């Protein structure tokens, strides 16, 4: 996100692997129902066929009373039918019955049945039915099927215990996903640097004949979203060689030694298809400085790094395999990675310039219906600090805005709304501020805008709003008139005045402070500290750097590092920071007191319209925009 904004608020599958199979639950659920319901149906069928169950004592009593017509004996089970005139039997709804002979037997049963003229039938003990066999084997068939499905799913995902160390890099199909330098807008300097690699991969023999070798590793360094991955794919597309892509985090696993195994397999697969390119994104996730941290380093990550160092420049030579890596934190990489013979060449991929931003926009508007009023040159000029990914997101957001409004093409207004959404945040329409809070916010943002417009070195004011956006209750946006490659002391001091202008306006009008300036104070303190400790821009401590910026990224480094200056110097640094901030606040107070009428008018406009264009600020002050002065 570009600078110049003040706010107020408290608030892969491995190569060659196919798609992973998944369990079809639409098939499993009906089978589960059948599995549980079939035995119930079988028991119900058996119950209807054999009749109601009675005790053996009751059965003998019914025989003696002459109410039993027939019996069928099968092993220890007795079934049968009552006589037609049976009464007071206790059976409900049926004359069929079932009982069982006691385990000790009953030698008097047959004589008893003959004496009472009962018809006696017998059946074999092991008479099996189809339904009985089906119910018996169904659970085993079902369990076997579930096991086979689980085994197939685990095998398809490549998560088996014997496959955990396999290469997880994605091999791009050059026929389907071919990318060339014509697809990379801007970045001319970076493309010139890598053309030598493309030439080597196309004709390595010509280089070897002269005793030359291509760089084994290329490290692409730059902010996120600047096109590092796109350049790597363009190199493979131009050279027409296999392209293995893998993220640094893909090497890491919970099992010790897996990362090193995946590195070996990655280089092994790349050698089989040589000449080839290996691309490792986010190299810093495995290439961090070894031994940095409390109690030593991460064993698994260090083993992975050691294996990669060996593969890059070990006993085995990889003359036909080029490794390209990308990172936005080169300062934390292990020095062994950056020595000649490993990552020989570092190529900086910076944020695009104005002309490069226009080229990137032209690439992304090819498949979008653009209205005639859209001036890409103007859009490029108003997106200083945007990366290639930011520009792509800008046009996508503009397309979404147009779709919500049901327009047929993307207009300049849609792009402007998308830019406000990205730079200042999403409108929070659900927040309903009280009138007192709205007045405080209006004066706070007006203080930022008035001080910025009056200072000659500040970026021009673009827009002021008291509509809550993101975490802020109001936003004042300053749009750079041109790209800045250096920040002068005068510019930084005026930026401090602008940041503290909101707090100064609150004190001038309401005589009290609010927490709305928390973000402004934080940013102002960071700038002032950098001016004193890093850039040597103070009167007492000029021309000397006392700090090392944001390099304390490991807890171990932060605790073990000794300061290179005394306690007295540290006190003087704090005093200088406080002196710079105090001077900036007093300057903001003086400017706002001198232009109190303009401050009141601008606040009134904000309360009425909620959003005011920067041009109105310069009209109220009767001063030209900073870009017009220059």
Spatial contact of 463 and 613, defined as CB atoms under 8 Å apart: yes
Strands 474-478 and 461-465: antiparallel
Q: How far is CA 280 from CA 46, 273, 492, in A?
A: 68, 17, 38
Q: Does residue 465 sit in helix, strand or coil?
A: strand
594 is catalytic: no
Query: Phi/psi of residue 167, each to 5°?
Result: -65, 125
Query: Phi/psi of residue 89, each to 5°?
Result: -90, -20
Spatial contact of 312 and 341, defined as CB atoms under 8 Å apart: yes
Of the residues 166, 445, 493, 506, which is catalytic? 445
Residue 180, Cβ density class (10 Å: 0-12 exposed, 13-18 middle, ≥19 buried): middle
Q: Which residue has the tokens 């008139």?
A: 481
Walk across the sheet containing 68-74 and list its strands: 52-53, 96-100, 77-82, 68-74, 119-122
CA-to-CA distance for 446 and 295, rounded, in angstroms? 52
Spatial contact of 13 and 505, defined as CB atoms under 8 Å apart: no
CB atoms < 10 A from the CB of 353, how many?
14
C-alpha dihedral over 591, 592, 594, 597, to 10 degrees? 150
Q: What is the DSSP letter of 373?
A: T
Spatial contact of 506 and 448, defined as CB atoms under 8 Å apart: no
Q: How far is CA 597 from CA 232, 238, 499, 567, 603, in A?
A: 57, 63, 20, 47, 10
CB atoms < 10 A from the CB of 25, how many?
8
The DSSP annotation for 215-277 comes to: -SEEEEE-STTSSHHHHHHHHHHHHT--EEEEEGGGG--SSTTHHHHHHHHHHHHHHHT-SEE
Query: Two tokens at 482?
Result: 């041109």
Strands 276-281 and 243-247: parallel
Q: What is the DSSP letter of 560?
A: H
Q: Is omega for the bond preceding 473 within 30 degrees of 0, making it cis?
A: no
Query: Two tokens at 145?
Result: 């099927």
Spatial contact of 436 and 458, defined as CB atoms under 8 Å apart: no
SS (HEC) of 31-92: HHHHHHHHHHHHHHHHHHHHCEECCHHHHHHHHHCCCEEEEEEECCEEEEEECCCCCCCCCC
Q: Does residue 609 sit in helix, strand or coil?
A: helix
In 3D space, the residue among 386, 494, 472, 442 whose CA is nearest the CA of residue 6 turns out to be 472
CA-to-CA distance for 560 and 21, rounded, in angstroms? 51
- The residues annotated as belonging to the active site are 445
């Amino acid at each position: 996100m570009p600078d110049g904004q003040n706010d107020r608020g408290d608030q892969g599958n491995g190569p060659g692997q196919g798609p992973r199979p998944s369990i079809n639950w639409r098939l499993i659920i009906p089978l589960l129902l059948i599995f549980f319901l079939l035995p119930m149906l079988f028991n119900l069928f058996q119950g209807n066929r054999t009749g109601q169950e009675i005790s053996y004592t009751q059965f003998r009593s019914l025989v003696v009373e002459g109410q039993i017509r027939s019996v069928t004996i099968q092993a220890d089970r007795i079934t049968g039918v009552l006589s037609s005139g049976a009464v007071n039997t206790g059976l409900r709804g049926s004359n069929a019955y079932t009982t069982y002979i006691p385990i000790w037997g009953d030698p008097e049963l047959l004589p008893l049945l003959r004496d009472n003229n009962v018809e006696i039938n017998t059946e074999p003990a092991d008479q099996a039915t189809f339904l009985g066999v089906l119910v018996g084997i169904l659970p085993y068939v079902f369990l076997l099927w579930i096991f086979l499905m689980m085994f197939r799913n685990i095998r398809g995902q490549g998560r088996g215990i014997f496959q955990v160390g396999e290469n997880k890099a994605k091999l791009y199909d050059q026929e389907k996903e071919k990318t060339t330098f014509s697809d990379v807008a801007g970045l001319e300097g970076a493309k010139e640097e890598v053309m030598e690699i493309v030439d080597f991969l196309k004709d390595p023999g010509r280089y070897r004949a002269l005793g030359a070798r291509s760089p084994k590793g290329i490290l692409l360094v730059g902010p996120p979203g600047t096109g590092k991955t796109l350049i790597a794919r363009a190199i493979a597309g131009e050279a027409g060689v296999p392209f293995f892509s893998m993220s640094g985090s893909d090497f890491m696993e919970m099992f010790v030694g897996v990362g090193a195994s995946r590195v070996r397999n990655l280089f092994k697969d790349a050698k089989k298809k040589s000449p080839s390119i290996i691309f490792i994104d986010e190299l810093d996730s495995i290439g961090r400085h070894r031994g940095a941290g409390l109690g030593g380093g991460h064993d698994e990550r260090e083993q992975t790094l050691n294996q990669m160092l060996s593969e890059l420049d070990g006993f085995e030579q990889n003359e036909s395999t080029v490794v390209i890596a990308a990172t936005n934190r080169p300062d934390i990489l292990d020095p062994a990675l950056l020595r000649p013979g490993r990552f020989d060449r570092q190529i900086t991929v910076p944020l695009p310039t104005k002309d490069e931003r226009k080229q990137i926009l032209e690439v992304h508007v090819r498949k979008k219906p653009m209205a005639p009023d859209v001036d890409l040159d103007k859009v490029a000029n108003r997106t200083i600090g945007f990366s290639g990914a930011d520009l792509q997101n800008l046009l996508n957001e503009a397309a979404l805005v147009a779709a919500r409004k049901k327009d047929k093409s993307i207009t300049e207004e849609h792009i402007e709304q998308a830019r406000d959404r990205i730079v200042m945040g999403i409108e929070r329409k659900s927040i309903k501020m009280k009138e007192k809070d709205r007045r405080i916010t209006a004066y706070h943002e007006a203080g930022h805008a008035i001080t910025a417009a009056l200072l000659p070195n500040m970026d021009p004011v673009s827009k002021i709003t008291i509509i809550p956006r993101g975490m802020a209750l109001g936003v004042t946006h300053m749009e750079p008139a041109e790209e800045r490659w250096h920040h002068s002391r005068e510019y930084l001091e005026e930026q401090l005045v602008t940041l503290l202008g909101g707090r100064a306006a609150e004190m001038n009008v309401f005589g009290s402070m609010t927490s709305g300036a928390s973000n402004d104070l934080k940013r102002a303190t960071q700038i002032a500290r950098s001016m004193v400790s890093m850039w040597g821009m103070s009167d007492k401590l000029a021309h000397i750097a006392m700090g090392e910026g944001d390099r304390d990224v490991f807890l171990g480094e932060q605790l073990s590092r000794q300061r290179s200056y005394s306690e007295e110097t540290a006190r003087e640094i704090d005093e200088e920071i406080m002196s710079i901030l105090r001077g900036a606040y007093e300057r903001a107070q003086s400017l706002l007191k001198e232009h109190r009428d303009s401050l009141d008018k601008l606040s009134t406009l904000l309360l009425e319209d909620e959003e005011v264009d920067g041009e109105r600020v310069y009209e109220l002050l009767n001063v030209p925009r900073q870009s017009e002065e220059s």
